[in-house]
Each structure stands twice: as C-alpha cells, then as structure tokens.
A and B are shown apart, each in its own frame.
Chain A
Amino acid sequence: MVGRINGDFRDLPDETCTAPIGSVTQAMHARDILARNGIPVTVVRNDPATTRHGCAYAISYPCEKERVIRAALRSAGIRWRGGTRI
C-alpha cells in the first residue's frame, strides 16, 4: 500500500484502492450495500502495519469509483476512513 488518497481519482481507471471498514461483518455489509448500488467490491484484510488498532478488514475497489462509494456508504451509516491506492 502507498499514499493516502485525498482527491478524486476518477481519471485513473485501472487502479485499485482499499479502504478500511472495520470488522469482517461490517466489511461484508459494506460490500452488499455497494453491490446493491451496482458497484462490485472485494472484502480484503487490511494490512495490520497500517492500522493503529490492529486487525481489520477493508474493501478493495476501482479507485475511480471512490466518490460514489463514499457517498453510498455514508448514506448507509458506514464510517468512511479514507482510501489508499495499492
């Protein structure tokens, strides 16, 4: 994993990003919400070296979808902690 995404990466269509969600249950719920919005994502393990609290799960998604993913998760009450380009 490299630097944190702070902007809009819609112009980088082939890149993959990950965003930490929390527990595996929360990550799978996030995945289901996004699937219902037509955005397929994958649940992955977050690299423990990048987290303050230890083990967590993340979603992996095309970076260019970040804005719409963020909006969909926020409206479902799921906290957005920022995405990272792989």
Chain B
Amino acid sequence: MIYFDNAATAFPKPEAVVRRVSDCLTSCGGNAGRGAHGGAMRAAEALYDCRATAAAFFGADSPERVVFTAGATAALNMAIKGFLKPGDHVLISDLEHNAVFRPVYALARAGKITYDVFPTYAADPDATPARILRGIEKRIRPNTRLLVCTHASNICSVTLPAQEIGALCRRHRIRFVLDAAQSAGHLPINVEAFCADAICVPGHKGLLGPQGTGMMILGRNADPEPILEGGSGVRSLDATMPPDPPERYEAGTLPLPAIAGMHAGMETVRQIGLANIRAHETALWQQLSERLRSIPGITVQAPHAKGSVLLFHSGTLSSEAVAAALDKRGISVRAGFHCAALAHRTLRTPPGGAVRVSFGVENTAAEADEFAEAVEEILSQS
C-alpha cells in the first residue's frame, strides 16, 4: 500500500503515538480537572504536559494559551465566532478551506457580518508577499475586525506570508486568525512572532496524532468569547464559563487518550525536525512533479510552489476515475474539490476537480516512482 493522503490525515501514525494512546486508555483512571484523586491528577498532568509542549512548539506565551479542540475546524469556528460581533467585517483569502469559508459565510448569510475575499495570486509564479498585502490593504474597511487565512493551502503547496499578514493586521488593529491545518508539523509557526490572535491546528495531520484532536493557540492578549458552555471543573458555582483560558473554552470532558497521542506525535515531529520533514517532502514533490509533467496530458497545478501537497489533473480521465484506478493498485490519494471550492476556483481546476497527492514523513522516493508509473499505466489504458 502507498499512502499519499497525508493532508487528509497522517498515516501510519508513529508507534509512539499508538503506544501512548493505548497506555493512557489502560492507565489514566480519572478525568483531568475534575477532582483530585490520584487518577484525576495524573490525567491533569498528562494534559498539562501536552499544553506545555504545544506552547513551546507554537511560541505561545504560556501553557494556558493552548486550548484543546476536536480539530482545526472546531478551533476555527471557536476563533471566528468568538472574535466577531454583529456589524463586523472580515477578510478571508481566495485559498480558504470550507473550515474558514463556511463559518464566515454562515454569519454573513444570517446578516450578522460582511466579508471580502482577498487574492493570493496562487496560480501566478511571480506573486509576491507585497502584492498580497496590497490586496488586503485595499479591502480594509473602518469596521474590519478580523482577517482569517490559511497558512498553507490544502490543495497545493502555496503558502501565504503569515508573518507579514500578521504584522499588517497588528498595524491596522485587526484580529488575525491563522488556519495552520496544513502547515503545523511542516513549517515553523510562532503565534507571537506572527502577531496572531489565534492559530488553529489539527492534531492528526502534520502533528501525527489521532483524529479528534486539535488546538487553538491563543496570542498573548486574545480573548474570544466562548461559543461552547458547560462543565469546566473550575468555578462550578458560577453561571458563566470561567474567565481564564484554557478552561474558558473547554466545556466538557476532553479526549485525554487522543490528546496524549497528539503529544507523542508532536514529540516525534520535534525529534525528526521541521527542516528535515520539509526537505524530505519537498524532495518527493520535486521528484514526482517532474515525472508527472513528463506524462502527456498531465497538468500539475501551481508547479512553482514545492512542498508536501501536489495537485494534478489529466486531460482524458476525471480526477475520481484516476483516484479509483490508483486505489485498485493500493495507492491512496484524494480526488475532487477537497472541501475547498474557493481554492479550486482560484487555481482554475477543471470540472470534477483534481487529484491531490500529499506526502508524509513515512513516504519514500521509491513510492513516488511507483506512483508515477501507475498513473502512466492508467492513462495509457484509458
């Protein structure tokens, strides 16, 4: 089996992750932050250790700024809906995943906010950060309160200049939320250096943890309103959520075994090193891109941007047909629109979308070669 769908979820998970989840399921007899018996305190220690690691990993001010969520989508909903108030205006990029676009669109459709989409020029090899920033500045209104954008596209390897966008937002007193669903575990991210109010990450992609995990990493002075209320284990006599993070945003019991697994995943990423991961994935991208572009009828989208995600389409077979034929050969990729209508429109992919190949730390050059040969064979038989 060749697994090239790491942008959907990383696979296989490191042995350390599997072990940590299993250990926690069998030994964590208690609910973190609920009571003080030995098991509850051990559970709380496990959560705290993960927060401390994540705070260091993402440059957060303190472990309290790390809020556990059910994934990047949950984190983005919390940040977007927590920061916005009726009458606000929001900016999003033309590369957004539905995890950003749909919450913003839903608020706009309900008449609560307005939004504009700024161009990223993702298909243009000569696009510069300055050009993107000019596009943003042109769209800022007096009531613009929030900018939400992706750090790295989920359909190609285009990245946005997050640090420069964050600095621009800070100058204009606009809140900045970064969707790091495809960059966490691949690229360096620092919430304070990026001037971000919230960075939203999944635990199960680049961080190599189990599904059902994610984090909202809050900037030093960020205080979105909670969108979820319930038990938090603290200030139980109050009718409102506690005033301080992270418990302010964490109503209900957290999935401790999964979070412990995410912690082990983060440690694995740290041990391998972001630079090594990036170099490995970029080398695979380069190798496969060259092979695919040599096959007649194949178009690689945004070929100027190298990284962990490669998008292509064939002039003769639909993306779903290519993916289905690959699956029969034991190769896993994802076809279609990848929950990112805006991004597909920006890249002008054909009707039916395109085939996404997404690399992970476990993939090899031999797999990339085998993949190219399989595509060549599939197209020659069509």
Interface of A toward B, CB cutoff 8 Å? 22-26, 28-29, 32, 43-45, 48, 52-57, 77
CB <8 Å contact, A24 and B238: no
CB <8 Å contact, A24 and B48: yes
A22 to B47 CA separation, bound complex (whole angstroms): 16
User: In the complex, how many residue pairs between chain A and chain B have their CB atoms under 8 Å apart?
Assistant: 62
CB <8 Å contact, B234 and A23: yes
CB <8 Å contact, A43 and B233: no
* B244 contact set on A, CB distance < 8 A: 22-23, 26
State how many angstroms separate the Cβ of B219 from the closest Cβ of chain A. 15
**Chain B: interface size category:** 20 to 34
* A56 contact set on B, CB distance < 8 A: 234-235
CB <8 Å contact, A24 and B237: no
CB <8 Å contact, B36 and A25: no
Kindly identify which residue among B235, B236, B237, B246 contacts A25, using a CB–CB cutoff of 8 Å.
Answer: B246
CB <8 Å contact, A44 and B36: yes
By secondary structure, the A interface counts as mixed
* A53 contact set on B, CB distance < 8 A: 235-238
A22 to B62 CA separation, bound complex (whole angstroms): 15
Nearest to B62 among chain A residues (CB) is A29
Q: Would you mind naming 13 contact pairs between A and B with Cβ atoms under 8 Å apart?
A: A23-B233, A23-B246, A24-B33, A25-B47, A28-B44, A28-B48, A43-B41, A43-B44, A48-B236, A52-B237, A53-B238, A55-B234, A77-B62
Question: Does B297 have its Cβ within 8 Å of any Cβ on chain A?
Answer: no
CB <8 Å contact, B233 and A29: no
* A44 contact set on B, CB distance < 8 A: 36
**Chain B 30-51 against A: per-residue CB contact (8 Å), 1 yes, 0 no?**
0011011000010011011001
A34 to B242 CA separation, bound complex (whole angstroms): 24
* A23 contact set on B, CB distance < 8 A: 33, 232-234, 242, 244, 246-247
